[in-house]
Chains A and B, each alone.
Chain A
Amino acid sequence: MVGRAGRHPRAALGTVSGFVGEQRDMRDGREPTGAPRDAAFFRHWLTAVAEAVEEEADRLTELDSAIGDADHGTNMRRGLAAAVSAVEEERPPTPGAVLVLAGRTLVSTVGGASGPLYGTLLRRTGKALDDAPEVDLGELAGALRTGVDAVARLGGATAGDKTMLDALLPALDALGDGLDAAARAAEKGAGDTVPMRARKGRASYLGERSIGHQDPGATSSALLFTALARTARAADGEGGTP
């Protein structure tokens, strides 16, 4: 394993104030709101995703060693650290521009299939948000749908193929019920890939032997939504919204 201490997102960032209230907010159990969110929120979301991937990197790689080529954790960690550094350095002015830059960075830094797939997800979502200075939950849900559709076209996968779509699609369907519901649906969707037979990517060569393992891409996709709920809860806790 390559040491990447210097690339850790927190090392690139310093402290992100939006996350200190996380534990308190988790305890009080309030649902994160669908309030409008600005570019800073989206930078914080990416940081939260990078931190979650950092914490889960070994597990992602372990899942990937069962049915893939054992690089998912390393690849995602490298890509997200680079994406966080890029958006913190450039500070794009809108949520859409933040996601477009992060997506472009993932495509150029990951080196595995997750680069173009997550890169397309963020870039197309960002483009769909256009240059709105703030976006509410409904607008984000619509843009994410565009991004997930682009991922499905790029990879040629559908629901049930044991891919990241199996976490992303249930999460999108649950977004109407709020960010916590979407996070729960994404985690359940990732867990539901265990009995599936892989039909895309390297795991598909394993045929029946891919059954019984959780898909690493669906697992990392769920982290996007758990981090989104956590970031929103932290932002709400800072007092901007009821």
Chain B
Amino acid sequence: MTAQPQVGLVLVSHSREVAESVARLATGLAAGGATAPAVAAGGTPDGGLGTSAELIADAARRADRGAGVVLLADLGSAVLTVRTLLADGDELPPGARLADAPFVEGAVAALVTASAGADAAAVAAAAEEAYTYRKT
């Protein structure tokens, strides 16, 4: 028997290194509890800085385990590209949503929540709550 599917996380950054590092950071900080997928979609296909709709769609497909996908994006075109794909296209899996969340803190909160088996709405909410944690 398979376990209940978990929500997948997609990390969209202008930089491949940032996306991959934040995915590793979130997985590491979730310790042994990180069982939900966190897939990086960073930079352009040739490794440059920018945003690639194809890399985002591909990452979303790989993160999708049947329970929906939550995307986090860093800046500008990363945010606009995800919003455009959500509004207009059929490139993202059904139930995909963009979290209005800080990139690093949101990724950690979302991955912990997704690994606990929460649904996509709860995972996005956990990421968005990361805004309320003040640092001063």
Contacts and interface: CB of A to CB of B under 8 A. Distances in A.
B85 interface: yes
B77 A120 contact: no
Contacts of A114: 77
Contacts of B50: 71, 111-112
Nearest to A200: B76
Given A107-B84, A107-B89, A120-B88, A115 B53 contact: yes
A219 B83 CA distance: 24
Contacts of A111: 44, 48, 50-52, 77
A117 B80 contact: yes
Interface in B20-73: 44, 48, 50-54
Contact of A115 (B48, B81, B87, B89): B81
A120 B87 contact: yes
Interface residues of A, number: 20
A107 B81 contact: yes
B85 to A, nearest CB: 7
Contact of A116 (B44, B48, B54, B83): B83
Contacts of A104: 89
A154 B85 CA distance: 11
Q: Is chain B's interface secondary structure helix, strand, loop, or mixed overall?
A: helix
A119 interface: yes
Contacts of B76: 113, 201-202
A114 B81 CA distance: 9
A124 B83 CA distance: 14
A231 B76 CA distance: 33
Interface in A150-192: 150, 154-155
Interface string A49-88: 0000000000000000000000100000000000000000
A116 B52 contact: no
A67 B2 CA distance: 53
A107 B44 contact: no
Interface of A: 71, 104, 107-108, 111-117, 119-120, 123-124, 150, 154-155, 201-202
29 contacts: A71-B50, A104-B89, A107-B53, A107-B85, A107-B89, A108-B52, A108-B53, A108-B54, A111-B50, A111-B52, A112-B50, A115-B51, A115-B80, A116-B77, A116-B80, A116-B81, A116-B83, A116-B84, A117-B80, A119-B84, A120-B84, A120-B87, A123-B88, A124-B88, A150-B87, A154-B84, A155-B80, A201-B76, A202-B76
